[in-house]
Amino acid sequence: MPETATSEFDLAIIGSGGGAFAAAIRAISLGQRVVMVERGTVGGTCVNTGCVPSKALLAAADARHVALDAPGRFPGIAAIPGPVDMPGLVAGKDALVEGMRSEKYADLIEDYGWDLRQGDATFTGDAQDPVLEITNTDGAVETVRARHYLVATGSTPWAPPVDGLEEVDYLTSTTAMELQEVPESLIVLGGGYVALEQAQLFARLGSKVTVLVRSRLLSGEEPEVSKTLMGVFADEGIQVVRRAAVESVATDPATGGVVVAATTGAGRQEYTADRLLVATGRRAVTEGLGLETVGVATGDRGEITVEDTLATSHPRIWAAGDVTGHPEFVYVASAHGITVVENAFNDAGQRVDYTHLPRVTFTSPAVGAVGMTDKQATAAGIRCECRVLPLEYVPRALVNRDTRGLVKIVADADTGRIVGITAVAKDAGDLAAAGVYVLSAGMTVDQLATLWCPYLTMAEGLKIAAQSFRTDVSKLSCCAA
């Protein structure tokens, strides 16, 4: 048995993603001694297997789609893209990821000067005296004692219990981005943002894609979003089967591909494809951490139960990011990390508030939203007044030759205060970011309708949507709004 060494720190962090790094940087700035433990690749989900690689591939697929679509959209333009070099595409993505991981993560550890341990961490001791036992990659065992501990281990793709699924070589959002060839056909299970982004990605690379979804696309967003994306996907040859309850998955003996049996509105149906991508959500990574040993409570899906201060049921153990079961965005994890350090070492009493949290789905057109949907506002007791502005009234969309989309504003009918904004458009994420400031300022539709806004920007759609509460925007001059 290797000899056990003991080290003392102010903050011990398990994980090395966005939340972990934000916490470490802030703690170092406060003069705290920090150690970070990572059992895999430094950087966490976002830079390695999530945001960065997926959006890099989406951008490449979009470039190919624009080239294919250009002759129909822009008279006088001809573009004939060749077949997709998938190994080259993946290699380019990997190079980008490696560069960002080095510059934005690994190099910062040396710059700021905290300790890094590569290995598995498990809580031992008891609730009165929690310690971390770290088994390093070389087999050495180290015990770490800290004034405070932060669990920021993230989440991992989750597959539902479907008959036969474990016997099939299915893809996840992680493994799909390592494929060395474009599947001729692909079935995607799921209707959330990961499923939709991946479905459109592979369709634009040349796959024949079928999406099986239990309810509707992006069911947590406005119904107009789902309807618009259904039309976009249909235009791009993506088949969407709604209200599909998957019963079983099996290998197709004739082709070696997959057969998915599902109950739909038309009865029991079978769908076949070369590959299957399961994108039905994620689950917190908490197994093997020994949380029960030190009295840290977890929820039904393994997520660490936290207060809005990010405190767990143990006064010296905190949690941040996806492992909490809170919204799975890297900017949430980063905010969590800073909040934990402020509360742990400065007793700041900071609380996480998601009231104006923006959310983006990087389909094309993208979906961006902030605040409440029409349904949520009504459930909160707000008497709503809403307007949906089709993109045909937004000059930027007209010159882009793509009016597939909308801007929706949800307002309090009694005060005019805007409580929700949703956009389906190119750069919808930027509209959601602008919406954060609109909602945070408590602006009314009349205020938004009269503010300066540069012409021929997609953000102008926010102003025009606000004007639609009082004006027939179909009768506005496009250059004199």
Binding residues for FAD: 55, 153-155, 322
CA–CA gap between residue 46 and residue 433 (Å, rounded): 19
Residues 334-369 as b/e (b if ≥16 CB within 10 A, e otherwise) read bbbbbbbbbbbbeeeebebeeeebbbbbbbbbbbbb
Place of tokens 């979906």: 367
Residues flagged as binding site for NAD(+): 190-197, 281
The secondary structure of the chain in percent helix, strand, coil, rounded to multiples of 5, reads 35, 25, 40
Would you say 28 and 113 are in contact if contact means Cβ atoms under 8 Å apart? yes
Distance between CA 420 and CA 466 in Å, rounded?
12
Q: Quote the CA–CA distance of 474 and 85 in Å, as a whole number.
A: 45
Binding-site residue ranges:
55, 153-155, 190-197, 281, 322
- CB contact burial 29-63 (16+ within 10 A = b; e otherwise): eeebbbbbbbbeebbbbbbbbbbbbbbbbbebbbe
Helix 193-205 / helix 223-235 crossing angle, nearest 10 deg: 10
Please tell me the number of Cα atoms within 13 Å of 146 on its side-chain side.
30
Handedness of CA 158, 164, 166, 168 (dihedral sign): negative
Distance CA 352, CA 309 (A): 6
Sheet with strand 208-212: strands edge to edge: 239-241, 208-212, 185-189, 275-278
Q: DSSP states of 235-256 as a string? A: HTT-EEE-S-EEEEEEE-TTTS
Separation of CA 104 from chain center: 19
Angle of CA points 367, 381, 331, to nearest 5°: 35
How far apart, in whole angstroms, are the C-alpha atoms of residue 322 and residue 438? 27
CA trace torsion 33, 36, 42, 47 (10° rounding): -80
Contact at 8 Å (CB) between 460 and 431?
no
